[in-house]
Amino acid sequence: MPDSLYEHDVLAWSEHQADLLRRLGRGERVNDVDWANVAEEIEGVGLSELHAVESYLNLILLHLLKLHVWPDSEACRHWRVEIVGFQKNLKRRFAPSMRQRIDLGELYSDALDQLRAGDPDLRLPPENPFTLDDLRHGDVKSLVSRFAP
């Protein structure tokens, strides 16, 4: 396999590397394992999962803020339904080791910035009232009630 396969055809590279690792696991001697890129890709899988979880948390926060700011909007039902879907996806992707890597303060700040980008004069709650477990398991009505009036 050419050295540049990783850069030009990551699918072919990954299939070849997986085959080599399986052969190695069976006790066969192989010499072509691209250890540096294999290690990078394995680490990348974990980071990708962490970023997916952070994305779901961001979406939950953003939708909760919308429900707080626009409680009479016709979109409220849609936002609630989406929050439940985001929570379900979050629960499927969440791993215990992610807890220490997630910065809810930063994610909340990002959600505030997103809403302010559309309307800089919005009056938004400056402090995040939620824990990670609140966002993972809380029902929408009780989560929205966490915002101070």
CB 58 within 8 A of CB 110: yes
Which residues, other chains included, contact 99 with Cβ-Cβ below 8 Å and sequence gap of 6+?
Answer: 132
Q: What does DSSP assign to residue 25?
A: H
Residue 149 has pLDDT above 70, yes or no: no
pLDDT at position 27 = 93
Residue 3 has pLDDT above 70, yes or no: no
In single-letter form, the type of residue at position 115 comes to: L
Residue 48 has pLDDT above 90, yes or no: yes
What is the number of alpha carbons within 13 Å of residue 24 lying toward its C-beta? 12
What is the number of alpha carbons within 13 Å of residue 114 lying toward its C-beta? 16
Residue 127 has pLDDT above 80, yes or no: yes
